[in-house]
Structure 1
Amino acid sequence: MDVLTVDIKQAGYEERNPVIRDISFNVGAGELVGLIGPNGAGKSTTVKSILGLLRHVEGTIEFGGESKRYAYVPEQPVLYEYMTLWEHLQLAAAAFGLEEQVFAERANKLLDRFRLQGDRDRLPTGFSKGMQQKMMLIIGFMLEPDIYVVDEPFVGLDPRATRDFLALLEAERERGAGVLMSTHVLDTAERICNRFLLVNTGSVVAQGTLDEVRDQAGCAADAPLFDCFYALT
C-alpha cells in the first residue's frame, strides 16, 4: 500500500514559471525513499508542493494509509519565542487532536529518549541547533503519522542523537509508516534507504533502488551512491 503518491507535472513560485517538471514517484508503507540532489535542484520545491505550500502546482499529490496524516520535520526549526519546549509539544498535539493521556505518554517517552526531559520548561529559542532539531523530531515522532516528510534531519545532531533518530525511524517503518527524506548525507542515505529519487535542474534524473540508480548513472555495480550522484548531477 502506498502512503504517498506524487505526480507533479510542473510547479513553481510564480504562474507560468515552473521550477520543477515531471516529478513522479510513490512511497510505500514501511518504505524509506531518499530525495537526493544538489543545491537548487528542486528538492525544496518538491517538498513544498507535497505539503501544499505552493499555489502554482499542476498535478496530484495523494496521501494514503489509515489516517492519511503526515508529519513534516523541517531543516530549520519552527519556534515560538515565548513558549517552552513542553508548550510546543502541547500545541502540536492539540493541532493533531491527540488525547491528553496519549500525548503525555508519547511526549515523555521521547523526551527521555533524546535526553531533553530536564529542558521541558525551558524556551527552545535558547537551545543549541541540535537541541532545537531534537524538538522537531520529537514533535514528528509523537504524532505517529502514516508518512514522514523529513528535510535534512542530520543537521546539528550529535552521533548519539543520530543513532536515536535512526532507531526510532526504523521502529516507525516497522509500524508501517513511510518516509520521504531529503538529505545530503549520502553515506547514511545509501545505508538506510530502500529507494532513491535523484533530481537535478528541476527534473528526475534517476530513481529506484541503488542498483537501478547505478544502472541509470552508468556506474559500476559496486559504485557508492556518491559516484552516482556525481555522474548524474
Structure 2
Amino acid sequence: MTLKINNLTGGYHGVSVLKDLNLTVEKGKAVALIGLNGAGKSTTIKHILGLLRPQRGYIELDGIKLAQAPEAFKQKLAYIPETPILYPELTLKEHIELTILAYHLDEAETWKKANDLLTKFRLDNKLDWLPIHFSKGMKQKVMIVCAFLAASDLLVIDEPFTGLDPLSALTLIDLVQEAKNQGKMILITSHVLSEVQDTVDQFAVLNNRKIEVCGSLNEIKAHYGLSEQDSFDQIYRVLSREQVQHG
C-alpha cells in the first residue's frame, strides 16, 4: 500500500511549478514535505487532491491512478488544509454526520471515536455550535477530528500546527503516530520542523521544482553539508542561499 507520485510535471495555466517530481509514501510511514515558500508544496498537494491536472506523469494510491478513477482515489484520502474550511450553516455535530455519510462509516462506531477525539480537543461541549462561534484554532481542530474519523488510507496534512495551542499540537502528534501504527500513510507539510521531526520517518525537500533529496533527519543534514549537531532549520538557510545564487 503506497502513495506514488511518478514524474509529475504540473502547475497553473500551463506554467510548470513542478517538474519530474517523484515521491513515495509507504504504509505505516509519515513523510514531511518541506521547502521554502513558493517551492511548490501547495501545488503538490493540489495535484494529490485532484484539484490540478498533471501536464505529465501520474499519481497512484493503492494501485488506483487518480486520473483514471478519481472518485475511488479520493475515497481513500482525508485532507487537513492549512486554512480550515467549514460549512457556515452546519454545526459541529452536523460536520461529523457529513463525514460519516461521505466515507460510508458505521454511525455508532464512528460516534464513539468522535466523542473520544472531541474530548481530547476539548470540543465535546460544543456539538451544537456553528463555525462562526469558533476561533481559528478551534476550526482547525474540527478539521482534524473529521479527518481522523475518515476511513482513509492516506492523510494529507498541510501546516496543521497553525493556530493550535501546545496541548492540541501534542494531541495531533499522538494521532499521527497512532495512524502510522494502524498502517496509514501520512504526508505532512510544516515549517515548524521541531514539531514533526520525531514523528515523521522521512523528510522530502522540495527545491528547484522537484524532490531534491529524501531521507532521515541526519541524511538530509549531510546532503546539505550540515553536521548532526546543527539545527534542522539551518536547511532553510542553505536553500535560501542557493535560491539567491541561482536567482
TM-score scaled by length of structure 2:
0.88
Distance 1:142 1:54 in 2: 26
Distance 1:129 1:8 in 2: 36
Q: CA deviation at 1:144?
A: 4.0
Residue in 1 aligned with 2:9? 10
Residue in 1 aligned with 2:192? 185
Query: The residue matched to 2:186 in structure 1 has which SS?
Result: strand
Once superposed, what is the RMSD of the aligned Cα atoms?
1.8
1:199-222 superposed Cα distances (whole Å, 9 cap, x missing partner): 124222222112221222121233
Residue in 2 aligned with 1:58? 56
Q: In the TM superposition, what are the counterparts of 1:1-233 in structure 2 within 5 Å?
A: 2-15=1-14, 17-64=15-62, 69-233=76-240
Distance 2:53 2:9 in 1: 12
Structure 1: runs of 5+ lacking an equivalent: none
Query: The residue matched to 1:218 in structure 2 has which SS?
Result: coil
Distance 1:109 1:45 in 2: 34
Residues 36 and 239 of structure 2 are in contact (CA less than 8 Å); yes or no, is this contact kept in structure 1? no
Residues 40 and 201 of structure 1 are in contact (CA less than 8 Å); yes or no, is this contact kept in structure 2? no
* Aligned pairs, number: 231
Q: CA deviation at 1:75?
A: 0.7
- Counterpart of 1:74, as a letter, is P
Q: CA deviation at 1:81?
A: 1.3
Q: CA deviation at 1:137?
A: 0.3
1:5-55 superposed Cα distances (whole Å, 9 cap, x missing partner): 11143101113x211112111111111111101111100000111111103
Distance 1:205 1:229 in 2: 13
Structure 2: runs of 5+ lacking an equivalent: 64-71, 241-247
Distance 1:144 1:168 in 2: 14
1:172-215 superposed Cα distances (whole Å, 9 cap, x missing partner): 11111111001100112322221111112422222211222122
Query: The residue matched to 1:139 in structure 2 has which SS?
Result: helix
Residues 204 and 211 of structure 2 are in contact (CA less than 8 Å); yes or no, is this contact kept in structure 1? yes
Q: CA deviation at 1:133?
A: 0.4
Q: CA deviation at 1:231?
A: 1.3
Query: The residue matched to 2:227 in structure 1 has which SS?
Result: coil
Query: The residue matched to 1:40 in structure 2 has which SS?
Result: coil
1:38-91 superposed Cα distances (whole Å, 9 cap, x missing partner): 1111000001111111034421111129x9611111111111111101101111
- Counterpart of 2:41, as a letter, is K
Flag the 1:4–1:34 CA change in 2: closer, same or farther, 3 A: same
Dislocated runs of 4+, deviation >3 Å = none
TM-score scaled by length of structure 1:
0.93
